[in-house]
Structure 1
Amino acid sequence: MLLWNGKLVEEEQVRVSYRDRGYYFGDGIYEVFRLYQGNLFEKEAHLDRLYNSLREIKIELKWNREQLSEMLDELAATLGQQDGMLYIQFTRGEAKRAHIFPEVCEAVMLGYCEPLARPADLIENGIEAITLEDIRWLRCHIKSLNLLANTLAKQEAVEAGAKEAILIRSDDTVTECTASNLLIVKDGVIYTHPNGNLILDGITKQVVKRLAGELDIPYVEQAFGKQQLVDADEVFLTNTTMEATPIIAIDGRPVGTGTPGAVTRRLQVAYVEMVEQVVQKGSSSVI
């Protein structure tokens, strides 16, 4: 089942117009939610970010937040008690091709769920990454459909035998990865780029920040350069599907000891415990 303009329908009932501005211009936004045994994880935080992205690109919906939240619950229920992901996007709608916003246009909604197991092996053993220049636009805090730069960087990483690319601006500022936030650990302190227009405010990163506070792990939002990255004791990424995954090598060189570090491990344990609480309570709200 798909969520199509507010209704659950069969896949064959969905028809996307060639005049959809999402197709022409990437004129839309999206959000990805994690489901653990059928429970939407951090739903309200994801909705906050979704509505922020809508405001940023000036798309208005005919559904209010409560209605949308109920639709997401209905869509998630179609997956049953499985681990999975829920994807939803909104485009500005159908209109004659022109750069300027149409005077009359109705937003188009599309959402779906699919099973998705936790990538336990990657979370446990870590991944390799490469560094690339961050050539994206300057409004990365918007979760827009414009992902070509991210896609090209991700492909380059895969072709180099890595799982992710760490993006670095021309002024030597390390920002994030192609599809995840980036955090480093030095002398027991976590460092990550502060929220702003250069990165996406990751929901999993928000969770990690809370968990770090509960574990008394110092957490500093501060920009850093490539030298600090390669000198880090630990490096890990966070995103909705990868949770907190260690990066054990960058550009072919080991990070620290070349194995997942102690701080990352503590956060992973705390994260799993949090997920177990959500599953036990059958709650989609923030713990």
Structure 2
Amino acid sequence: MYFYKNEFVHKQDIQISPDDRGYYFGDGIYEVFRVYNGQIYEGAAHMQRLERTASEVRLSLPHTSDEILTILNKLIGHNNLIEGTVYLQITRGEAPRAHPFPTQAVPIVLAYCSEVKRPLATIQNGINAVTQPDIRWLRCDLKTLNLLPNVLAKQAALDHGVQEVVLHREGTVTECSASNLMMVKDQVLYTHPANHLILHGITRAVVLRIAHALQIPVKEESFTTEQLLQADEAFITGTTVEITPILQIDGQSIGSGVPGPTTQKLQAEFERTFLNQNTPPIQGQP
């Protein structure tokens, strides 16, 4: 069951117009929500980011955040989803192809569920990556439909026989093709500041909150690819990848080449925030 144009419908009944601005301009925004035990994880944080992106691209949301979360929870119920993801997309609407904002178009909401198991093998065993220049636009903090550079980067990773690409701007590490990136050096956690060059990841924010609560020193500051290669540990964060260690970058081992102790400590606490519903998550602010 999908949600499309204010109705719960079957996938085969959806007809997307070629005049949808999301189709020919990528003129839209989206969020991916993780579902654990039938519940949306960090739903309020996702909605806050959706509202911010909508405001920045001047797209009027057709529903309030509470209404959208209610729709998504009904969708989860219709699909009997226990573990997986919910994809939400809102485009500016249907109008003849022209660059200026259409005056009469009504934003179109599309949402659907996917059964996606936690990637436990890579979470536990880690992944490898390569570096590549960050060719994306300068508003990476906005979660829009314009993802072709990310698609090309992810494919480049697969072409190199690895799982992820570490993006950099003239040697300064930003993030990855579909995730944020953190490194540990001398027991200090580093990650690029949440400015216009990276997506303000929900899992990233949770990890920083956990790190502060565990009294792990955190520095939100930029670092170079050279510094990353000399890190003791490195890992990616994201809604679908959670906290996944990086073992090698450009064929060079990171630290000892196995998931490090800080990464594992953060992973354990991250799991506690959703697996043990009777234990409240750690409180703290990054």
TM-score clears 0.5: yes
Corresponding residue of 1:87: 87
Give the Cα–Cα distance (whole angstroms) in 1 for the partners of residues 183 and 232 of structure 2: 8
Deviation at 1:243, TM superposition (A): 0.3
> Is 1:241 aligned with 2:237?
no
Deviation at 1:173, TM superposition (A): 1.3
Contact 2:273/2:280 (8 A) holds in 1? no
Q: 1:226 to 1:281 in 2, by over 3 A?
A: closer
Give the Cα–Cα distance (whole angstroms) in 2 for the partners of residues 114 and 81 of structure 1: 8
Give the Cα–Cα distance (whole angstroms) in 2 for the partners of residues 253 and 175 of structure 1: 19
Corresponding residue of 2:263: 264
How many residues in Structure 1 have an aligned counterpart in Structure 2?
282
Report the residue type matching 2:96 in the other structure: K
Deviation at 1:10, TM superposition (A): 1.3
Corresponding residue of 2:50: 50
Q: Show CA shifts across 1:252-276 (max 9, x none).
A: 1110000000000000010111112
Deviation at 1:78, TM superposition (A): 2.6
Contact 2:187/2:216 (8 A) holds in 1? yes
Corresponding residue of 1:196: 195
Deviation at 1:79, TM superposition (A): 3.4
Runs of 4+ in 1 over 3 A off after TM superposition: 280-283
TM-score relative to the length of structure 1: 0.95
Out of 60-69 and 172-181, give the one that drifted further: 60-69
Q: How does 1:102-141 map to 2 (within 5 A)?
A: 102-141=102-141
Q: How does 1:14-25 map to 2 (within 5 A)?
A: 14-25=14-25
Deviation at 1:7, TM superposition (A): 2.1
Q: 1:162 to 1:68 in 2, by over 3 A?
A: same
Q: 1:67 to 1:61 in 2, by over 3 A?
A: same
Contact 1:6/1:71 (8 A) holds in 2? no
> With CA pairs under 8 Å and 6+ residues apart, which has the higher RCO, 1 or 2?
1
Corresponding residue of 1:71: 71
RMSD: 1.6
Contact 1:21/1:93 (8 A) holds in 2? yes
Structure 2 spans left out of the alignment, 5+ residues: none
Give the Cα–Cα distance (whole angstroms) in 1 for the partners of residues 66 and 161 of structure 2: 44
> Is 1:229 aligned with 2:228?
yes
Give the Cα–Cα distance (whole angstroms) in 1 for the partners of residues 279 and 30 of structure 2: 28
Taking only the aligned residue pairs, the percentage that are identical comes to 46
Corresponding residue of 1:220: 219
TM-score relative to the length of structure 2: 0.96
Contact 2:93/2:106 (8 A) holds in 1? yes
Counterpart of 2:194 in 1: which secondary structure? coil
Q: Show CA shifts across 1:96-138 (max 9, x none).
A: 0011111111001100001110000000000000000000000
Contact 1:39/1:282 (8 A) holds in 2? no
Give the Cα–Cα distance (whole angstroms) in 1 for the partners of residues 63 and 255 of structure 2: 49
Q: Show CA shifts across 1:26-57 (max 9, x none).
A: 00011000001211000000011111111111
